[in-house]
Amino acid sequence: MKAANSNWWRGGVIYQIYPRSFQDSNGDGIGDLPGITRRLEHIAKLGADAVWLSPFFKSPMKDFGYDISDYRDVDPMFGTLDDFKQLVERAHALGLKVMVDQVYSHSSDQHPWFVESRASRDNPKADWYVWAEPKEDGTPPNNWLSIFGGSAWQWDTRRRQYYLHNFLASQPDLNIQNPVVRDAVLDTVRFWLDLGVDGLRLDAINFCCHDPQLRSNPGSGEPDGTVATVSRSNPYAWQQHLYDRNRPEALDFLRAVRALVDRYPGATTVGEIGDESGMEMVAQYTQGGDKLHMGYCFDFLTDRRDAAYLRAVVDKFERLAGDGWACWALSNHDCRRLATRWGGAEPSPALLRLAPALQLSLRGAACLYQGDELGLPEAEVAFGDLQDPYGIAMWPDFKGRDGCRTPFPWDSRAADLGFAGVPGARKPWLPVAESHRALAADRQEADPASLLQHYRHLLRWRRTQPALMHGDLRLLPQHEQVLAYVRSHAGERLLCAFNCSERAAELELPGGQRIATVLADSGAGGATAQGGRARFEPWGVLFARLD
């Protein structure tokens, strides 16, 4: 039976925590669950509705938790199940929902399921993963590639077959098309929901099913570098991925997940969809009320932040979404930090204020990545300090994801920026970034004009604006510099306009409007509206009520 759902997630703000790098409570150099619990007040004070925890489950950590060896337990480096229960209890006391990362496209090769599956061709779990015979010349069954480099097929001497891995060879693909595997996965969904979590973030969910005929992908040639899903230097980007992801069978699996999640009051799902057709896929995966509640893609995770590009992304979703729902993300643990991607070596403070104003005024939910509220730039990590297998394999053209995963800077006075919770702690798993010291949370807490305070004010103000929380969105005509749209709800029209350039700009008010009431309490700035025109300083933001 379907449970009641308050739809809190529709206008919700989700704060992503990367547990290894948030707060170390025991001095072992790795962030943990008790550390997160200690810092939940920071997120509640920010004004977020929920936290999303990247994987903290048992894992050999070949891909830092995205290779799970036990879906139902906490890795000892992060704490215990009791620690997790205390985290949920504290979060709920602070008014925060808790969402956990779930990885259903693959597991670790150390998961008992795979250990049994690879043991023989006739054991009870022989078909729990994707196995295939070699071609007559001994080569893999097709041309599918791994995102992390090389073939997506790994030879196994026990079964004398290849197994599929879209990511590392130590991350074999689960055979979700097997109903028994699907039921086992759904049992893990039920486990965490029964523990009180409020939602699931589904990792790489468009990778969870494959073409049963194992047809080879057609080539697409060298990419132009505008797609954020993979590095241009990665041959993975040279294929049209028709058969190794985005399969229709994935939608059937999502319907089964949704049917289960809908039995729990207020529970929700958000899916990561990594594909060149990002917004089309988000629409497809969230329409109809029977699959994902929300989806996010990588369209806003590129270096591009010009008005034409941003407008095209929003327009595409608005045209295709129907009753689908987006979760807008400008940053996460897999891409360079927002301040550096959009702002370069010396990002403008005005640009860093524009980014959340834009993100939080779109129709949908929003996901903030830890440290974006401080304006943290991408950290420089020396090759000898790299931990990310993706970066190590693709160096030096692609430096991997460690630069956005360095420890959170809590205390500007501490040598480790306050990452460790005890004296005499071990060296953090990634070096702290000295470029983050001046931006540490303690300094911004004490500065009324800081970016942190801007985020807090913006999130509080947004809750008071029904048009932003619940309204429709109508894009205004394309402008060289300004992205503009009107949010409408219950007779109120709110103009949202952003000068996405470092030059001054002007914009005609919509519909021949002569007067617009600028909402100065939004905390936005650098724009005025009078005489039928809006005028913007570089990176100026305007929120104005249209009469």
The domain spans of the chain are 8-105+178-210+245-461, 472-546
Domain pair 8-105+178-210+245-461 / 472-546, same fold: no
Residue in the block written with tokens 């104003």: 357
pLDDT of residue 228: 52
Q: Which residues pair with 202 in a beta bridge?
A: 102, 271
pLDDT of residue 147: 93
Residues 451, 440: Cα–Cα separation, whole Å:
11
Residues 165, 210: Cα–Cα separation, whole Å:
11
Query: DSSP code of 122?
Result: S
pLDDT of residue 281: 94
DSSP string, 239-301: B--SSSSS-THHHHHHHHHHHHHTTSTT-EEEEE--STTHHHHHHHHHGGGSS-SEEE-STTS
Kindly give the parts of the chain with pLDDT less than 70: 224-232
Q: Which residues of 297-320 are buried (b: 16+ CB within 10 A; e: fewer)?
A: bbbbbbebbebebbbbbbebbbee
In the chain the first and final C-alpha atoms are separated, in Å, by 45
**Secondary structure of residue 162 in the 3-state scheme:** strand
pLDDT per position as a tens digit, 209-264: 999 999 999 998 887 655 555 666 789 999 999 999 999 999 999 999 999 999 99
The set of catalytic residues is 203, 272
CATH 2.60.40.1180 for the 472-546 domain, yes or no? yes
CA 486, 487, 492: angle at the middle one, nearest 5? 105
Fold for 8-105+178-210+245-461, please state it: TIM Barrel (3.20.20)
Question: What order do you get walking across the sheet with 527-530 strand by strand?
Answer: 505-508, 533-536, 527-530
Beta-carbon contacts of residue 179 (< 8 Å; ≥ 6 apart): none
| Burial class for 489, CB neighbours closer than 10 Å (0-12, 13-18, 19+) | middle
Residue 175 near residue 211 (C-beta atoms within 8 A): no
Q: Note the pTM of the prediction, 2 decimals.
A: 0.97
